[in-house]
Structures are given as structure tokens and as C-alpha cells.
Amino acid sequence: MSRNPSSSQTKNTVYIAVFAAMIAAMGLLPPITLGIIPVPITLQTLGVMLAGALLGPWRGAMSSLVVVVLAIAGLPLLSGGRGGLGVLLGPTGGYLLGWVFGSLVIGALFKYWVLRRTGNTARFLAGLASVVIGGIGVIYLCGVPWTSVVTGLDLGTSLLGSAAFLPGDLFKAVVTTLVALTVHRSYRGLMS
């Protein structure tokens, strides 16, 4: 039984579009409130992390890029119904770029490292590390300097400002890892 190569390209395009839509949808609904964390967490970055963890580096990054492009072009896709050029040029603009690189890094780590590990604990730890590196490290690395450049605040202050979101993001990283590993178990060939 064979599949022709052009149909894999079609499949990739569809996966990218559907996941981009999922990331957008996750930003459109009210945030989830957990007892422990004071700030209600939006699931949108969760979607960004998942895109990388489930679709791999290239498709995951493309999904995030599609959302960013559509949002900047004017669709109110970012949490809070935001959109337009102002978001890119404003203090949080760097984070948008961070989404693309974040998905890329998470995807690469999952594809070439996490999924090659055996044993549930090893996989979970590798997965969590990957999501933290890509979903928090890389994203903040893109977002924080941009905030400094745009506002004039020094890096330390900008970093401190983003620290408020750290607990929520760490929580999301755990959720992403658990969800991604669960799904990969039922969908063996998702990233080969």
C-alpha cells in the first residue's frame, strides 16, 4: 500500500492549518482558573508548545507562524482579542517571534531526543526539559530583550516582569509534556 509524496505535503499543510486553528481557538476562550495560581492562565501558549511537541520542528513552527501572521494582519486571535500591527511593535511583540522559535526547538527536541528515550520516567523528564527549554527558555529569550528595547527598561526589570507568568508557564509545560506523551502513544507515526 503506497501513498504518493504529494499527499504527504497536503497532509502537512492540513496539520499545520488545523493546529494553527487550535492555537487560535485556545486563545479565544476565557482563561482557566486554578486554585493554586493567582493569575488565570490562558491556554494559548499551551497550544504553541503542543504544536511543537506533536507536529515536530518544522510543522510546529509553521503552525505558530500562521497564527502570528494572521494575528498581525488583523484577526483578534491573541488572548484578550488582540491583534494588529500594534502587538508586534509593542512591548510583547518579541514573544510572538518566540512562539515560532519555541515550537521549533520543542519539536526538534521531541523528534530527535524525547521520543527516542525508553521508559516512562525518562521520557517524561526529557519531555519536560524540552518544553521548558523551548516553551519557556526560548520564548522568554525572544520576548524579554524586545521588551527592553521597546520600553527602555533594563533587561533585569523586563525579566522580573515576565517572572509573574513563570508559575503558569511551568504548569503549562507539565501539561504539555503529559498530553504530548499520551497522544504519541496512540499515534505512533505522528512525527516520523
Partner 1 sequence: MELPSIRLENVSVRYDDRVALRELSISLNEQRIGVIGANGAGKSTLSRLLNGLVLPTDGTVHIGDLNTRQHSKQIRREVGFVFQNPANQIIMPIVSDDIAFGLKNLSMPKSERHQRVAQTLNELNISHLADRESHTLSGGEQQMVALASVLAMRPQTIIFDEPTTMLDLRNRLAFQREIAKLSQRAIVVTHDLEILEDFERVLVITDGTVAFDGAPAEAIAHYRQWSHA
Partner 2 sequence: MIAAANTSYLARIRPGWKFGALLILSIALYLISSWSVLLALFIISIAILLSARVDLRQLRLPLISMAIILSVVFVLLGIQTDWLNALRAVLRLLTMCLLAYAVSLTTKFEDMLELFQQVASPLRLVGGNPAQIALALSMTIRFIPELKKVYVEVREAQHARGLGNNPLAVTVPLVIRSLKIAEETAEALDARGYDSAPSPRQH
Site for partner 2 in 11-40 (CB under 8 A): 11-22, 24-26, 28-29, 32-34
Q: Which residue, 1 or 36, is less far from partner 1 as judged by CB?
A: 1
Q: Would you say 111 and 191 are in contact if contact means Cβ atoms under 8 Å apart?
A: yes
Phi and psi of 22, rounded to 5°? -65, -45
Cβ 105 to partner 2, closest distance in Å? 17
Site string for partner 1, 3-32 (x = CB under 8 A): -x----------------------------
The whole-angstrom distance between residue 105's C-alpha and the CA centroid of its chain comes to 10
φ/ψ (deg, to 5) at 78: -85, 150
Applying CB under 8 A, does 79 fall inside the site for partner 2? no
Instruction: Quote the least distance from Cβ 4 to partner 1, whole Å.
Output: 7
C-alpha cell at 7: 499527499
Per rule CB under 8 A, is residue 179 in the interface with partner 2?
A: yes
Contact between 96 and 72 (Cβ < 8 Å): yes
Q: Considering the rule CB under 8 A, would residue 187 count as an interface residue with partner 2? A: yes
